[in-house]
Amino acid sequence: MAHIVVLGAGIGGMPMAYEMQEKIRKGDRVTVISNSESFHFVPSNPWVAVNWRVRDDIAFPIRPYLERKGIDFISAGAKRVHPEKNQIELMNGETVNYDYLIIATGPKLAFDEVEGLGPNGHTHSICHVDHAVSAAKSWETFCKQPGSIVVGAVQGASCYGPAYEFAFIMDTDLRRRKIRDKVPMTFVTAEPYIGHLGLGGVGDSKGLLESALRERSINWICNAKVTKVDADKMYVTEVDEKGEVKKEHVLPHNFAMMLPAFKGVDAVFGIEGLANPRGFTIVDEHQRNPKYKNIYSVGVCIAIPPMGGTPVAVGVPKTGYMIESMVTATAHNIHSELTGNPPTDKATWNAVCLADFGDTGVAFVALPQIPPRNVDWFSSGKWVHLAKIAFEKYFIRKMKTGKSEPIYEKLILKAMGIDKLK
């Protein structure tokens, strides 16, 4: 009988565990290993950082919910994966053996690649709820003595949506506090143009996001490389299409939030054939590692090549719906293997996303993720803000009840022509 281990319990790992548990044979076991006792709904971190949410609104203890479904849970982080031995070495010194391993560890945040970047330096982060909680404290102090804001994503980042979201959310919060007039804001991004998003744009994302920044008096710098951050200044090199220096900027900041570049986690970093040079897990079209065929991987931790062709390095984002499609394909494929068949399912890589702007928001559907596309739709409105709040409640509830994809969700998305599997 097989032991299937899911490493990581985030947006990918939790649904993975539930979907896998539904697809195992009698006697097979599913175990989740995570370095934290609690689940966090990462997309709500920007709201935590401006005190629209508190930590407990978006986090809950994992153990009781998994155990109720018969899934084992170990809350000790993985120190090292040993694929030759089918073994995981834990931080607490114990080891866990597996027959199948699904790596869903999300990103390691590469703050160290820019001097002064990150919560241990001089910029805030919304990538982890702990960072968002700490940003929220500084936000209150900042609002008492407002000054300049710099917000965006650094060179090599692969997650741009939350940078725009956070810029607009801060703007909304400042207007509500009636101190927006005291806060010059600059959006700094590695993208070649506003609205590229690592996807070559979606629909008219360039036009819509430029308008939104203009309407809210947020200046921007594209093709930007952040070279250094001091306590009150950010040093930014803006390059032209050829990658040659166009302008050096020194931006004063009293509050800054920059998305870092991502890497893979230390537990797999440097394992030849399993991880690429940045530590992302290498997978084929079935989410399976080509060298270690009993290892699958889903979520932000998988390797996908950047689109390329941009003057500054810009990574391709991995959004929630895409991740869920990887999860479903993986559950189906491991089920196939358990029943003596080869894996055949492929994730669709469709991007469906809701981004909140505080009072309004934007939604997009990109099928497939990389252009040219069959569906390329980008829209904005107050409905998106409300839809995102509804989605947060819905997803957290779904992660507690353990129903990975209720039938009505499947039907709605299917009616829209959006599918998880090819």
Which positions are annotated as active-site residues?
159, 353
Give contact residues for ligand FAD (rule: CB under 6 A). Answer: 7-13, 33-36, 42-43, 45, 77-78, 104-106, 126-127, 159, 161-162, 265, 267, 299-301, 319-320, 323, 353
Q: Is the Cβ–Cβ distance between 303 and 283 less than 8 Å?
A: yes
For position 136 contacting ligand DCQ by CB under 6 A, the verdict is no
DSSP-assigned letters across all residues of 5-65? EEE--STTHHHHHHHHHTTPPTT-EEEEE-SSSEEE-GGGHHHHHTTSS-HHHHEEESHHH
Q: Residue 80 or 422: which CB sits closer to ligand DCQ? A: 422
Tell me the residue nearest to ligand DCQ as measured from the CB: 320
Among positions 103, 185, 354, 366, the unique one binding ligand DCQ when judged by CB under 6 A = 354
Q: Is 188 helix (H, G, I), strand (E, B) or coil?
A: strand
Tokens at residue 88, please? Answer: 């995981």
d(CA 220, CA 263): 26
- Residues 6 or more apart in contact with residue 131 via CB below 8 angstroms: 45, 49, 119, 124, 125
Of 286, 87, 204, 333, nearest in space to 302 by CA: 286
131 contacts which partner out of ligand FAD, ligand DCQ, none, CB within 5 to 8 A by kind?
A: none
Nearest-approach distance from CB 41 to ligand DCQ, in angstroms: 7
Q: Residue 75 or 211: which CB sits closer to ligand FAD? A: 75
Q: Give just the sign of the alpha carbon dihedral 396, 391, 124, 278.
A: positive
Query: Of 392-411, which residues contact ligand DCQ (CB under 6 A)?
Result: 395
For position 383 contacting ligand DCQ by CB under 6 A, the verdict is no
For position 353 contacting ligand DCQ by CB under 6 A, the verdict is yes
Site string for ligand DCQ, 300-339 (x = CB under 6 A): --------------------xx--x---------------
Count of chain residues binding ligand DCQ (CB under 6 A): 14
Q: Is 80 helix (H, G, I), strand (E, B) or coil?
A: strand
365 contacts which partner out of ligand DCQ, ligand FAD, none, CB within 5 to 8 A by kind?
A: ligand DCQ
